[in-house]
Amino acid sequence: MYKHRGFPSRLPGTDFQFTIRRDNKKGATKIVAKERYADRFPKDKTADLNFMACLVKHFGDEPFERGNLDAGRLSWLFGREVIAAEEPFDPASYDALLVINRSIAEKTFPDAFDESLWTESY
């Protein structure tokens, strides 16, 4: 499992996890597209925005390996803002390649692309 050095492990001040420490010996947790409803808590929406900003800052428009990125957090964005960068795509692989769907991500999370809002602590 590839570890993304410099990528924040969680949203500061919360238990919202962005990365995992070690691989699961049984295999990677499968990434599935989760539906986001309008009545989600503000903290959940903040976590999504900050995670998206981290992805944009670290990877930009380039494909990236799933590696140690949290499957649960990726699942909130998968199929919309983050899409598969390869065919066939294995959603249960640490080696799976993903890419940011910039056109949709900019509409959903415009602040994630504003470099003036990025901080070291996200």
Residue 117 pLDDT exceeds 80? no
pLDDT (tens digit per residue) in 47-97: 999 999 999 999 999 999 998 999 999 999 999 999 999 999 999 999 999
**End-to-end Cα separation, the chain, in angstroms:** 24
Residue 54 phi/psi, 5-degree rounding, is -65, -45
Rg for the chain, CA atoms, rounded: 14
Residue 62 CA to residue 71 CA, distance in Å, equals: 19
Label the pairing between strands 97-100 and 64-65: antiparallel
**pLDDT tens digits for range 18-48:** 988 877 777 788 999 999 998 999 999 999 9
CA distances from 71 to 2, 23, 32, 34, 78 (A): 14, 11, 8, 11, 10
